Amino acid sequence: MPLKDALPTQGRFSQWRPNWVILTLGLAMLAAVWGLPTVSVAANRIVSGTGYPVWQALSWGGGALASLIILAMMVLASHPERTRLSYVAQFAAMVLLLLLMPFGLMAASHWLVDASQPQARLGIGPAYWVVMFLALLGLIELRLRLSLARGWMALLLIGIGAVWLGCAALWLDSLALVQEFQVREAQFYQAIRQHLALVTIAVSVSIVLGMGIALLMRRFYRLQRGGFALLNFFQTVPSLALFGLLLAPLAWLSANVPFAAQLGIKGIGWTPALIALIIYSLLPIVRNTYVALEAVSPDVLDAATGMGMRTSQRFWQVRVPLALPILLEGVRITMVQAIGLTAVAALIGAGGLGAFIFQGLGQAAMDMVLLGALPILVMALAADAGIGALAAQLRRGAAYD
């Protein structure tokens, strides 16, 4: 073959740039589907479950359907031309896979769980968790490719979660996670209220204190180095160690100061948990507030001065609105961090969803662990998406103005 005839083919191969992220995730999902147990079945809560592969849990048809969706996604990801339509199709394949997964659990419950044994439990196997995690990673990758707003992504995930919850409530009574929830429904809702209350109070107080500290650092520059050093030091202290350090002084205060005892201050419970959460939340707020206020362009401030604005007007009407997106990033980091750390506060009697996690670990009941861990994950993702979307919207609005 003449060299000139081979050149176009060589050019096409040299321009072949597949989406290696999606291809890698697809291969890992196929390996999980066919190599890991899909579900497990136990006669009751005490005995360990027996794992079942996909061809026994979902039949060969269910495994083939999941594999076809993943393979279609991989074929689209390996297309030589990266078009928006290709990314949309890959995104749709990921969403379809996530939407079909609860129906696969329904099929597994029908085939494997004996209806004559009311205590029988269906557990979600490692293949389900791996595929779900990898599919969510794929959605994040494709969201960036498609430049989708965080708000739309959050609405999509809420819709997928609603489908899962609807299937669990209506047709998955044998699912071990559902059975754990049914037994502890009142405690679960109380734990959610306690968790949200701790996070809300701690973050609110840290925002007020953190912004005040940042303003003092801007006014008195000598406080900057020592203040950040102290806040960084607190971040290095493990949460359990900080809880332990607070027990003795708070217990002494409660025993020797009647007013403190009347306020409910004790060595265990909410008081040390709130103090520790506020301490851990200060650094992101202080750092982002300081950086945001200092990052405002001096030219903008000079223009505001030229318009006759006083110092207070420049601060509240110019500096703060321009710094608000970065301030919200600090609030986002603080909120997500506080949601996770509040789980540890259950060890000192503060309540919250962490109580289910540690009770489940003590009883070797992983479904009880999930009953506490999954809502914490959802809260963290919702806070990250919601506050991040608001910050991005403010940033776009500032750029447009």
pLDDT digits (tens, 9 = 90+) for 197-256: 999 999 999 999 999 999 898 888 788 888 888 888 888 888 878 888 888 888 878 777
Range of lowest pLDDT (30-39, 96-105, 114-123, 178-187): 114-123
Q: What tens digit of pLDDT does each residue of 47-84 get?
A: 778 889 998 888 888 889 999 999 999 998 887 667 88
What average pLDDT does this structure show over 1-18? Answer: 52
Which pLDDT band, with edges at 50, 70 and 90, does 7 fall under? very low
For residue 290, give both structure tokens. 């300081």
* First vs last C-alpha separation in the chain: 60
How many degrees, rounded to 5, is the angle at CA 386 between CA 381 and CA 391? Answer: 125
Q: Which domains does the chain have, with CATH numbers?
A: 3-176 (no CATH), 185-400 (1.10.3720.10)
Which contacts (CB < 8 Å, 24+ apart) does range 51-57 have? 51/125, 52/108, 52/112, 52/125, 54/127, 56/111, 56/112, 57/104, 57/107, 57/108, 57/111, 57/112, 57/125
**pLDDT for residue 4 is more than 50:** no
**Cα–Cα distances in angstroms (integers) from residue 211 to residues 199, 201, 301, 328, in the given order:** 18, 16, 20, 12
H or E, element range at 121: strand 121-124
**pLDDT for residue 261 is more than 80:** no
Q: Which residue has the higher pLDDT, 347 or 395?
A: 347
- pLDDT at position 118 is 75
- pLDDT at position 198 is 93
Whether pTM exceeds 0.75: yes
What average pLDDT does this structure show over 293-308? Answer: 83
- pLDDT at position 29 is 95
Work out the mean pLDDT of the chain and round it to a whole number. Answer: 85
31 vs 33: CA distance, rounded Å: 6
Contact 103, 111 (CB under 8 A): no
| 285-315 as b/e: b if 16+ CB within 10 A | bbbbbbebbeebeeeebeebeeeebeeeebb
292 vs 332: CA distance, rounded Å: 14
Which pLDDT band, with edges at 50, 70 and 90, does 366 fall under? confident
